[in-house]
Structure 1
């Protein structure tokens, strides 16, 4: 006899998960429990396939589920087909998370992709539109001319969220950096270092270096790959370092304490490179990355007692810095 299947309400599931240790939660990773940012000890969790987002403090186990979007998405009138198209699909992409000092609260911003089709035709040509939503009440803000190119390739620095984007044509795509100021709620564009060629020739990854926006630039060819680190100050790029090829390494993820580097190798393992000893250390955290090899990102995290609904003075809330290899 088959046992009946019981499904728990989502709110109850989230409440149960919020009481579990971090080590236990990592056992239950799935393709949609994605981390889209860390700020002041808080993590933003977001499901790009569904209208689900939450903010979590692992230290206090406080967990806040953001409300679903209430933004209207009426049928789209197509001048080409001279008829209204029905909404067929909605996806929530490129979320970013940060702190707005003007409102003394945390915000989540995400790009919404809308697909419209002619419901009266069996093989309708889809039409795509984009929206941008800002939490936590999810209000719509004007969409920029550019959209991010990577699902989780964003960083947050000093009140501003950054994403990679591109412009140009076939085999001559040029890189740009799209930014959003959480305080004035406006988008802007920042160029990458001028010497960088077209994107088929170079890869550009965003990161944080000493509290500033930086980029790692490296050629797409895997033979003797070297990495250049550039950091910007008020829109001016300055080259900081050049890292010669480290055997087996295909991508730099970012910097840890004391200038140590987190890397990804050809076996999809995450490594730590000690800059002082020039030694590589395997961190043994690759067991759940098999299907996310191109979506690995590094987020700075400190244990804290910051409340999700706001912050007073950050230094009073920090318990301690994480271990060196945390």
Structure 2
């Protein structure tokens, strides 16, 4: 079972970030970053993109932290020709309520949305090395306590990245990767787990029809998936059954922004404000909730720019 967190971070159209406590319905929009953008003679910064966020608790300092990768796009001020992109990394501290810049690694993560990619204060992403179509896959990690990046060895069993999707996740208290083909809607999945410096294959799931993306594991190796109708479904490998949970993503044709989070209830205060009741949409799952031993709530919270 994944290590849960009591708070969740939200990314608003990659412009604003908020921390949310689902238990108390309190949320806090984080202050704008104070990190300085580099300047270059004759170049203008045209776009700033924020991606690959991760939110985790730092046990060493008793602090919640949010890390995100920043991509800066520059153009020549006279002829408008684009220059190579520049990368930065920013880290937010809830205790200090401020951002700071972290030395950027030589790699950019390939995971664009938040997911269950953190364990014991360390966050993990997939990176690729080499040139297309022969990229190889590695794991980039960031230690929230030491605020340092590191890279794990290449995963030789994955094969070429151009033909394979790889999702990094936490499985039964260990870091794992879920490997599945890029093409087709009948997906097969292989789960590999890191044991020390070695990777061990846990199990394989044969062809599951009508699904596009995995979201994460539940009890007894059950796997949450997103189907072709953008609904959340649950696959039971012991019975080979696919259960429709009645949860629609409400994100028409934007499945890359659907993530699954496990959290524990907490009264941790984030010095924010309460959600307005009119902005909360709660959907109770029907019979499928009994299989999860709890009700699953779907919350669609809308905020303005204020």
Tell whether 2:107 aligns with 1:143. Answer: no
The partner residue of 2:43 within 77, 85, 91 is: 85
Cα 1:45–1:235 change in 2 (3 A) is same
- Aligned twin of 2:19: 55
- Aligned twin of 2:281: none
SS at match of 1:193: coil
Q: Is the 8 A contact 2:185 2:210 kept in 1?
A: no
The partner residue of 2:11 within 46, 51, 54 is: 46
- Aligned twin of 2:87: 130
Number of corresponding residues: 270
Cα 1:123–1:57 change in 2 (3 A) is same
SS at match of 1:113: strand
Tell whether 2:254 aligns with 1:254. Answer: no
State the TM-score, normalizing by the size of structure 2: 0.80
Tell whether 2:294 aligns with 1:323. Answer: yes
Deviation at 1:277, TM superposition (A): 3.6
RMSD: 2.3
Cα 1:288–1:127 change in 2 (3 A) is same
Deviation at 1:276, TM superposition (A): 4.2
- Aligned twin of 2:180: 218
Tell whether 2:265 aligns with 1:303. Answer: yes
Q: Highest relative contact order (Cα 8 Å, sep 6+), 1 or 2?
A: 2
Q: Is the 8 A contact 1:153 1:163 kept in 2?
A: no
Tell me, in whole angstroms, the C-alpha distance in 1 between the residues paired with 2:167 and 2:184.
16
Tell me, in whole angstroms, the C-alpha distance in 1 between the residues paired with 2:11 and 2:252.
20
Q: Is the 8 A contact 2:186 2:211 kept in 1?
A: no
Deviation at 1:194, TM superposition (A): 2.0
Alignment gaps of 5+ in structure 2 = 272-291, 298-306
Tell me, in whole angstroms, the C-alpha distance in 1 between the residues paired with 2:42 and 2:195.
47
Q: Is the 8 A contact 2:205 2:237 kept in 1?
A: no
Q: Is the 8 A contact 1:47 1:92 kept in 2?
A: no
- Equivalences for 1:16-55 in 2 at 5 Å? 39-47=4-12, 49-50=14-15, 52-55=16-19
Tell me, in whole angstroms, the C-alpha distance in 2 between the residues paired with 1:223 and 1:132.
35
Tell me, in whole angstroms, the C-alpha distance in 2 between the residues paired with 1:287 and 1:176.
30
Q: Is the 8 A contact 1:84 1:118 kept in 2?
A: yes
Cα 1:307–1:179 change in 2 (3 A) is same
Tell me, in whole angstroms, the C-alpha distance in 2 between the residues paired with 1:125 and 1:255.
42
Deviation at 1:53, TM superposition (A): 1.3
Tell me, in whole angstroms, the C-alpha distance in 1 between the residues paired with 2:186 and 2:22.
40
- Equivalences for 1:75-114 in 2 at 5 Å? 75-76=39-40, 83-114=41-72
- Aligned twin of 2:28: 64
Tell me, in whole angstroms, the C-alpha distance in 1 between the residues paired with 2:22 and 2:132.
44
Structure 1, residues 187-215: CA drift from partner, whole Å, max 9, x if none?
Answer: 01123532221112222111211121111
Cα 1:145–1:48 change in 2 (3 A) is farther
Q: Is the 8 A contact 1:301 1:322 kept in 2?
A: no
Cα 1:46–1:122 change in 2 (3 A) is same
SS at match of 2:85: strand
Structure 1, residues 30-52: CA drift from partner, whole Å, max 9, x if none?
Answer: xxxxxxxx9522110123532x2
Tell whether 2:203 aligns with 1:241. Answer: yes
Structure 1, residues 218-238: CA drift from partner, whole Å, max 9, x if none?
Answer: 233438642111111223211
Q: Is the 8 A contact 1:269 1:282 kept in 2?
A: yes
Q: Is the 8 A contact 2:73 2:82 kept in 1?
A: no
Q: Is the 8 A contact 1:153 1:164 kept in 2?
A: no
State the TM-score, normalizing by the size of structure 1: 0.76
